[in-house]
Amino acid sequence: MSPQSPGGTEIDVRRAIETVFRIESPRIVAAVTRVVRDVGIAEELAQDALVAALEQWQRDGVPDNPGAWLMTTARRRAVDLVRRRENYARKLQEIGREMPEAAPPEEPTDPDDIDDDLLRLVFTTCHPVLSAEARVALTLRLLGGLTTAEIARAFLVPEATVAQRIVRAKRTLATKNVAFEVPYGPEREARLTDVLDVIYLVFNEGYSATAGDDWLRPGLCEDALRLARVLAGLMPKEPEVHGLAALLEFQASRAAARTGPDGEPVLLKDQNRRRWNRMLIARGIRALERAGATATGAPGPYVLQATVAACHAHAHTYEETDWATIATLYGLLAARAPSPVVELNRAVAVSMAEGPEAALGIVDGLAPHLPDYHLLPSVRGDLLARLGRTAEARAEFERAVGLAGNERERELLREKLRSLLAR
């Protein structure tokens, strides 16, 4: 044990415990889940270890390896629980009653040598039996280490709602007997898409908030980026995992330049590129190179999006951006993973490469598919303004203001309106 420093207080120890637990809790929950086969019970046992730490560390000081202490304590409690179950089952059998065997099943053979509890936990929290909202909440709780209150604040929903989602998610995993494993073959590929999508959804909510008064929520971006990096380390042979990590590194590199002094949004063309984080850009480039080195076929959606982000990262100015290549990449993305939002992004790139007239036809075709998406009238307004159709552009920006859910974004659109009225 490291003796508590003379100036150390109860609050110091409590903060140390909270910090260690937040860092270590995903691995602890994952390791204990492998023993008890239930993420809800595993989380309770991890919390029990936390309570034990609060009692013992206050008295004896913080141990030299606090993470290992918590892991050992939680695992011992898990093993004790399984033994009690086994003893109970044995006693029931002795008196002639039947009870399902509660001992942990045999570990599955892993043909790809993936044997990591944390990776299993990622696939479990993102299982398709859960709704998208439940996957996000459970992933942030168990892998991000966020409290229920923090998740509720991040997504601007009542704490009780998040608590219910998490409770129901854990109950669903238990009642559906969801296996604590990494799936193989085609199922892994299908489930991996869900895992990557959840992480990307968390990042996007932090990068461009859909509601509230702040445009950026850096904490969510950091959590998602950390999860992507962890996943890339756990699955080094999956190009799409590296693609997602690269995409998030590139996007995170621009975070400091995306808002002004008062938190107002700063669009890409107006950003001070000297504020872009070059270390994150370098990490993005390396991750994209790893994606290319591990790829065996056509690039997937996240690799293509990361390549678009790399084009922006390589441009010294907005005007130097290789819009023709970006338009081509969005065309490939539309073919690989078609969606109206991808088409809208392609339209923006086409407008920069070929002019607004060429893009307007693409945007007009998307109206039936994105009736309530504020960026559709926003993009259409920009195109119309560039074509000199000012009155129509105003109408589009007014419609976009009405649809936008984020106050910062609404103000940005109002500024565009004021700019048009001044013409």
**Residue spans per domain, the chain:** 322-422
Instruction: Give me the architecture of the 322-422 domain, per CATH.
Output: Alpha Horseshoe (1.25)
Q: What is the pLDDT of residues 214-269, one digit of tens each?
A: 778 887 888 889 889 988 988 899 999 999 999 999 999 999 999 999 888 999 99
> Among the listed ranges 84-93, 337-346, 412-421, which one has the minimum average pLDDT value?
84-93
pLDDT of residue 3: 45
pLDDT of residue 17: 82
pLDDT of residue 122: 87
Q: How far is CA 90 from CA 35, 81, 102, 106, in A?
A: 19, 14, 10, 19
Does position 104 have pLDDT exceeding 60, yes or no?
no
Look-up: residue for tokens 């974004």?
409
Identify whether the C-beta of residue 48 lies closer than 8 Å to the C-beta of residue 167: no
CA atoms within 13 A on the CB side of 91: 6
What is the phi/psi pair of residue 237, to 5°? Answer: -100, 5
Q: What is the pTM of this model?
A: 0.78
CB pairs under 8 A, 24+ apart, for 295-302?
295/239, 296/239, 298/336, 299/239, 299/243, 299/332, 299/336, 300/239, 300/240, 300/243, 300/336, 301/240, 301/243, 301/333, 301/336, 301/337, 302/196, 302/200, 302/240, 302/243, 302/244, 302/246, 302/247
Q: What is the pLDDT of residues 135-157, one digit of tens each?
A: 989 988 888 777 888 788 767 68
At 416, the pLDDT band (50, 70, 90 cuts) reads very high
Q: What is the pLDDT of residues 257-294, one digit of tens each?
A: 999 998 889 999 999 999 999 999 999 999 999 999 99
Identify whether the C-beta of residue 384 lies closer than 8 Å to the C-beta of residue 394: no
